[in-house]
Amino acid sequence: MENTLFSLSEGIRRCTACPLWKKRFLAVPGEGPENAKIMFVGEAPGAEEDKQGVPFVGPAGKFLNQLLEKNGIQRKDVFLTGAVKCHPEKNRFPSQEELDTCRELWLKKQIEAVNPPLIVILGAAALSSLLGEKEVGKWRGKIVEKDGRSYFITYHPSAGRRFPKIRKMMEEDFVMVKKLGKK
C-alpha cells in the first residue's frame, strides 16, 4: 500500500511502538502539503503540541513563525514535523531508541511521501535522527547531501528563543533557507 501523508498520520496517531505513547495526550504527525518544497524536522512535541496535536504551536513555534514570516515563507507551504511524534515527559530529550523507532516507522516514510527538495534540520534530536551527528554547532549553516537528499542544519527554535547569539544565527540561517527553498 502506498504511504500517503493521511495514512501515515493515521498510523502515527495509533502508534504504540515505543513507551512515549503511554503518556501522550495526542500524537503529532506533522502538517503541511504533500508537495512542500521545504520540510522542517524539529525535536519532539512540547506540552502545547501534545494538547493540540499540531506541530510548532507553543513558544518555539511562535518564534519559528516569526522566522518564516520575516523571510516570506508561508507556513502553509512547508511541511513541519518532529523527529519523534509524541511528547516526552518533562520535555526531556528523546532517547536514541525513541528517535530510531520513529525514524524507521514514520519519519523516513513522511520524507518519501513529501519528497521535498530541502529538509531543514532544527536542532540536535533531528540531527541525530537524520544524519547520526550530535553537535549542531559543528554542522549549523551547512548543507549535507545524503541518500539523494539535501539537508540544511540549524538550531531548534527553542534555543533561538532563549539565547540571543543563537537567535542571530538562526535569523541568518533562515535567509539561506529562503534562498535554498527557491531552487
CB 27 within 8 A of CB 82: no
Q: Cβ contacts of residue 182 below 8 Å, gap of 6+?
A: none
Residue 120 three-state SS: strand
Q: Cβ contacts of residue 108 below 8 Å, gap of 6+?
A: none
Report how far residue 34's alpha carbon sits from residue 109's, in angstroms, rounded to the nearest whole number: 12
pLDDT of residue 77: 97
CB 5 within 8 A of CB 84: no
pLDDT of residue 182: 81
Domain count, the chain: 1
Mean pLDDT by groups of 10 residues along the chain of 183 residues: 85 94 94 96 95 95 97 97 95 94 97 97 98 96 95 97 97 96 80
CB 122 within 8 A of CB 129: no
Q: Which residue range(s) make up the domain with 128?
A: 5-181
Instruction: Identify the CATH number of the domain in which residue 47 sits.
Output: 3.40.470.10
Distance of CA 154 to the CA centre of its chain: 11
Cell 537528499, located at residue: 149
pLDDT of residue 27: 96
Beta strands in the chain (DSSP E): 38-42, 79-82, 118-122, 143-146, 149-154
Report how far residue 133's alpha carbon sits from residue 155's, in angstroms, rounded to the nearest whole number: 13
